[in-house]
Amino acid sequence: METQIVERFVAPEEEGFYLRVPFQVPEGVERIRISYTYRKNENIIDIGLCSPEGKVIGWAGSNRDELAVSEAVASPGFTPAPPAAGQWQILLGAYHVAKKGCTVQYHIVFEKKELRIFKGDTHTHTNGSDGVFTPKELTQIAGRMRLDYLFLTDHNNEAQNETPYSTDTLTVLPGTEWTHYRGHAGMLGIRHPLRDIIANSGEEVREILQIAQERGALVCLNHPFCPFCGWKFGFDLPYDLVEVWNGGIGAEANLKCLHWWDGN
């Protein structure tokens, strides 16, 4: 964690102006937190944030004392954005300034990226396919379980990816489970991995998986040894991951998959 303190004196004649307060973001930052103080009984100062590209990340009134921005989540009124290294700008709204002027102090904290172990679920279903819970209910359950991330992967469905559900503690990621009578494949990380769901030959299956990868999805062959919906297309196809343990199919199929994995 690294801290930077920046001060800006606002002169009385700057009342009613929008001012820019530059600060430098170092490399390797995961989250930016900014708090600010000034004499509130005499002044009213609003706050906003601008990225190095000049994009306004957000704006808040003087009722806000702090804000936070990361790639996944941000404070209300601010857009999630990667904290790229470079010169950012605090936007200072000088709504009311005392006759003697006003010193605004910004306390900027850079939370650095670090190696972590994350726990989450890469394979879930909502009531949009054969699940019981709505996407919101499912994410609330994941939050109570203290998961770090959750993929929503309804069968042949991308509708669950249209609404953001991430919170400060849970990152909800887009996904789809391409579902065929001869096997299921998770497509993780993008909202629209599917161009088509219909495949009646091995080559059409290959094309579906390739298109998902080309669009940026991680392709995961799910529960390949399940007796009811195992993977019957073979493993000479484009994929990135194999689901070696599935909570709903029983130990025998999972152990068979683990033994297969250990042998390859």
pLDDT by 10s per residue, the chain, length 264: 899 999 999 999 999 999 999 999 999 999 999 999 999 999 999 999 999 999 999 999 999 899 999 998 899 999 999 999 999 999 999 999 999 999 999 999 999 998 889 999 999 999 999 999 999 999 999 999 999 999 999 999 999 999 989 988 899 999 999 999 999 999 999 999 999 999 999 999 999 999 999 999 999 999 999 999 999 999 999 999 999 999 888 899 999 999 999 988
CB 218 within 8 A of CB 188: yes
List, for residues 214-244, the tens digit of each pLDDT value: 999 999 999 999 999 999 999 999 999 999 9
SS3 per residue for the chain: CEEEEEEEEECHHHCCCEEEEEEEECCCEEEEEEEEECCCCCCEEEEEEECCCCCEEEEECCCCCEEEEECCCECCCECCCCCCCEEEEEEEEEEECCCCCEEEEEEEEEEECCCCCCCEECCCCCCCCCCCCCHHHHHHHHHHCCCCEEEECCECCCHHHCCCCCCCCCEEEEEEEEEECCEEEEEECCCCCCCCCCCCCHHHHHHHHHHHHHCCCEEEEECCCCCCCCCCCCCCCCCCEECCCCCCCCHHHHHHHHHHHHCC
Q: Model pTM?
A: 0.67
CATH architecture of 120-262: Alpha-Beta Barrel (3.20)
CATH architecture of 2-112: Sandwich (2.60)
Residue 73: CB atoms within 10 A of its CB come to: 17
Q: Where are the domains of the chain?
A: 2-112, 120-262
